[in-house]
Structure 1
Amino acid sequence: MNKRFVPDALAGSNLLPRTPAAAVVTASYAPDFERCRLLCETLDRHVSGVARHYILVEHRDVALFRQLETSRRTVVDERDLLPRWLHAVDDPLSLFRRRVWLSFRTQPLRGWHVQQLRRIAIAAHAREDVLVFCDSDVAFVKPFDCGAFWRDGMTRLFRRDGVLADDGHDEHRVWSRNAGAALGIEPSMASVHDYISTLIAWRRDTVLAMCGRIETVHGRDWVEAVGRARQFSECMIYGRYVDDVLDGAGHFHGSEEFCRVHWTGEALSDDEFRRFVAGMAPEQVAIGMQSFIGTDIGRIRRLIGLDRA
């Protein structure tokens, strides 16, 4: 077991410091490099209240992403976050176009699994009080202050109440059940809430306590315990830990999404993109264009006024 994750925190006050330090955390990879560059530029232009921006990448992508480092932006090698027994290799089943992470302790894991593990693991590396998670295919288009994530010493937990009780959401229900299993929550205590979004915040001390809980329940490293199920969501694990284990301590709930995301479908035309931005809710300050949809990054730059000479 990795004892560094077993906390002695949360024993005292559940309140944050009066002005907590916040770090933005982005997990990325080489095919999203230009999108991540755009995120960095728009974050630097529009976002305040950020002490540091961590970009979490696979070892072979570190040199590429180092181009984005500044005095307040750090690229973090996953080898400094995850156990050395988890090995990334080219996947022959994809004709070596994709990567797979292998070990004798977990299921074979894809990049999207390992990005989630990195987001959890950064809590043991960072020193900031609040971790704000933002995907690399997000761009900020309006001013935003990270102070929106805390109130009266508590951190905002994104939660859509009751949606898992509705038809559909089958995959999210599986993720919720597996989160409960990882945390040692009785299966009868099923959750109907959804915690998945981008541009959300976690408390670092709570993440450390969550990892300690998983290791205590399973008697093994938290990465091994979580990675034994190939269907998991880091957002579900954190949300269920806060609500079902801590009974919400140190957090308040919010259902408004700060980022409007184009999740599926075709790449947007210029007119469709303008309508998409015009349709942002008042509280929304960023847009997300899922990278697999293929919206041209040059078009996005031009339409938000950041095209490069």
Structure 2
Amino acid sequence: MSLPGQIDASIVTLSYRGDFDYCRLLCQSLDAFAKGLSHRLFVPAQDEELFSVLATPDRTIGFERDLLPFWLLKLPMPGPRLRQLLRLPRRNLYLNLRGAPIRGWIAQQIMKIEAGAQSPTEIVVHMDSDGVFIRPLTREMLVNAQGLVRFYRNPAAETRATHVLWREVACRLLNVDPNSINPGDYINFCVVWRRSIVRRMIERIEKVAGTDWRVVLAREPHFSEYTLYGVFVESLGIEAAGHFAAEQSQVHAIWDIEPETPQEEDEFIDGLETHHIALLIQSTARMPFGKRLELLERAKGRARNMATD
């Protein structure tokens, strides 16, 4: 989709066969609420036939291999159900010809950064495959009147140990003094980047380390791509990076605490606000798929009613 005012946008999603049913819902919602928007969906090569039914003139199916260097090789693993029975990791493992093997979680983050750097559009919207749009995605939700691009930033510093560690790692990789930037958190379920800033971030990592950025990140057992980008934007200055800070999440999410009673489900639906354009129920949630569909329809109904009030 070409957004008026010199800047284009596209959506990037990484998925795999275990999340196919959720990803199909995301694609259906994009067809309904973001028609004409370019959607790049990347999956393992062995899942090509399954995901091919989701391809449209606006949606291309790419492969993980397109986003990884030749020296990162996915190790063969059984399907999701057998993994669960054998208590194997849900994520894949990758053989690293330039170091120790890495978890699929690390490879996925490298792929997201590469997808941002390769993007055919300046605005890159990362959307997880278990999210669903429930309202139209408009230019005003991504770009303000001054042409600055949305940058999610929760000004309250995240105190969980993992988030603190991710911030420390980002500062080290980017050679940024932690005391020189404001505290905050950048983790969300619909995150907007600028391709030009992703490329500058890659250049900074390589300048600091003196080697390929992918080699650098493959050595890190813990990091967050969103924190890395967020810290880099902060180090440049948010407006200088072509962004404006937005504190409200655009996604109403069920993440680590699931509703277990009808009352809790009602409370979740009632929590939907006008700035929420998408709903996310984590794919690892124990919620039956039928219940997920029911909550989605209720959320869409509430969104329609709010629009007419």
1:180 CA drift (Å): 1.3
Q: Does the residue aligned with 1:196 lie in a helix, a strand or coil?
A: coil
Q: What value does the CA root-mean-square deviation take over the aligned residues?
A: 2.5
Match of residue 40, structure 1, among 17, 23, 27: 27
Q: Tell me whether 1:181 sits opposite 2:177 in the alignment.
A: no
1:138 CA drift (Å): 0.7
Partners of 1:24 and 1:132 within 8 A in 2 = yes
Cα distance change on mapping 1:247 and 1:147 into 2, 3 Å:
closer
Q: Tell me whether 1:63 sits opposite 2:49 in the alignment.
A: yes
Q: Which residue in 2 is equivalent to 1:156?
A: 150
**Could you list the per-position Cα deviations for residues 237-267 of structure 1 after superposition, in whole angstroms to 9, with x for gaps in the alignment?**
1111111145541111001000011111346
Q: Tell me whether 1:18 sits opposite 2:5 in the alignment.
A: yes
Cα distance change on mapping 1:22 and 1:96 into 2, 3 Å:
closer
**Corresponding pairs, count:** 287
Q: Distance in 1 between matches of 2:48 and 2:191?
A: 25
1:194 CA drift (Å): 0.4
Output aligned runs, 1:128-207, within 5 Å.
128-151=121-144, 152-164=146-158, 168-186=159-177, 189=180, 192-207=183-198
Cα distance change on mapping 1:91 and 1:106 into 2, 3 Å:
farther
TM score, norm. by length of structure 2:
0.84
Q: Does the residue aligned with 2:32 lie in a helix, a strand or coil?
A: helix
Q: Distance in 1 between matches of 2:265 and 2:26?
A: 17
1:278 CA drift (Å): 2.2
Q: Which residue in 2 is equivalent to 1:223?
A: 214
Greater alpha carbon shift after TM alignment, 184-193 vs 202-211? 184-193
1:17 CA drift (Å): 7.5
Q: Tell me whether 1:51 sits opposite 2:43 in the alignment.
A: no
Q: Distance in 2 between matches of 1:251 and 1:190?
A: 16
Match of residue 111, structure 2, among 118, 124, 132: 118
Cα distance change on mapping 1:20 and 1:97 into 2, 3 Å:
closer
Cα distance change on mapping 1:56 and 1:271 into 2, 3 Å:
farther
Match of residue 301, structure 1, among 293, 302, 306: 293
Cα distance change on mapping 1:97 and 1:195 into 2, 3 Å:
closer
TM score, norm. by length of structure 1:
0.84
Q: Distance in 2 between matches of 1:267 and 1:102?
A: 39
Q: Tell me whether 1:256 sits opposite 2:243 in the alignment.
A: no
1:158 CA drift (Å): 0.5
Q: Distance in 1 between matches of 2:76 and 2:161?
A: 30
Q: Which residue in 1 is equivalent to 2:302?
A: none
Cα distance change on mapping 1:20 and 1:187 into 2, 3 Å:
closer
Relative CO higher for 1 or 2, CA cutoff 8 Å, sep ≥ 6?
1
Q: Distance in 2 between matches of 1:120 and 1:227?
A: 13
Q: Which runs of 5+ in 2 are unaligned?
A: 79-85, 299-309
